Amino acid sequence: MSPSRAPLLIAIVLAAGLGIALFQKHGALQRLQLEHARLKAQLDSLAADLSLKQDQLNAAKRDLESAQRDHEELVRLRGEVSQLRRATNSAVSPKKSSQPVVPAPSITDPPEARRLIAAVKAHIPPNGLLVTGGWEIAPGRRALVLAGPVATVQPDGTVTIDVTTRIVDAPDSVLATLGLDLKSNDRSTAQQLFDADNAAALIQALEASEGVDVLSAPRVTTADGRQAQIGWSRDGEEGATQIGLIPRLDPTDGSIELELSADLLPWPAPTPVPAPAP
């Protein structure tokens, strides 16, 4: 090779090496740009998902606040209805003259209009029983409200609670024998609790005792922590009994916290059965 060609060859080799290096760097730059674009697209997608989840969370929060306001309004309206009902029951009929004639009371007249009220909160053992009330509805007779909640865990993990309520009219002597010493005025907060074994025995004893009337035994199913309402009409009389329930399961021991409110209209005392002639 002639000396004049050597520098040219060296220049060609260097140019080729530089071109290869530039090509490789260009390829690496393109790969980085593609990776940057892919990561940016993922970031945009995650940001969109986050925004959607935030919107859903805000909507759920608004729904919960609306449900709480509706519940508070419902409780307020029920209180107003109870007050109006009591005011209506105690209203005096319009006078026809300055000195109206008041009829003499009869043994067949219904009892004076009054309401039997209970509002209690109790922690009931598993399959146990709450007893409240103890109102005197006739000489020697008292009324009780019994509530027995039972929780069930569904296959999907949700909890439902069945609450069986009983309204019992019983003689004082029977209640004393069974250890039910609840005695209260028309607005009662007295209560007694029984575990599962004693609850079953108490109900059996009440049903088997002479002179005891189980006036109603409705059952309602509700979700854990959700309010339920039981209405009972007597002889077509709407609103004779209203029982509100809010049960909550304690998963640590299976007990149930129960908030119970009862509003009962007293019923006429049973007609005594005359003794057979000797």
Q: For residues 148 and 164, is the Cβ–Cβ distance under 8 A?
A: yes
DSSP 92-139: PPPPSSSSPPPPPP-TTSPPPP--EEEEEEEEEPTT-EEEEEEEEEET
Confidence at 277, pLDDT banded by 50, 70, 90 = low
Average pLDDT (185-198) is: 83
Alpha-carbon span 186 to 105, nearest angstrom = 22
Percentage with pLDDT > 90 across the chain: 26
Buried b (16+ CB within 10 A) or exposed e, 224-240: beeeeebebeeeeeeeb
Show Cβ contacts of residue 100 under 8 Å, excluding neighbours closer than 6 positions: none
Other CB atoms within a 10 A radius of the CB of residue 268 amount to 12
Which pLDDT score is estimated for 238? Answer: 56
Which pLDDT score is estimated for 209? Answer: 92
Q: What is the pLDDT of residues 165-179, one digit of tens each?
A: 998 999 999 999 998
Residue 96 has pLDDT above 50, yes or no: no
- Domain range summary for the chain, segments of one domain joined by +: 9-88, 113-264
- pTM more than 0.75: no
Handedness of CA 82, 84, 88, 92 (dihedral sign): positive
Q: For residues 146 and 154, is the Cβ–Cβ distance under 8 A?
A: no
Q: What is the pLDDT of residues 111-168, one digit of tens each?
A: 455 778 888 889 999 999 999 988 888 889 988 999 999 999 888 889 999 999 998 9
Average pLDDT (223-244) is: 77
Average pLDDT (9-14) is: 72
| Three-class DSSP category at 2 | coil
Alpha-carbon span 255 to 247, nearest angstrom = 10
Q: How far is CA 76 from the centre of its chain?
A: 17
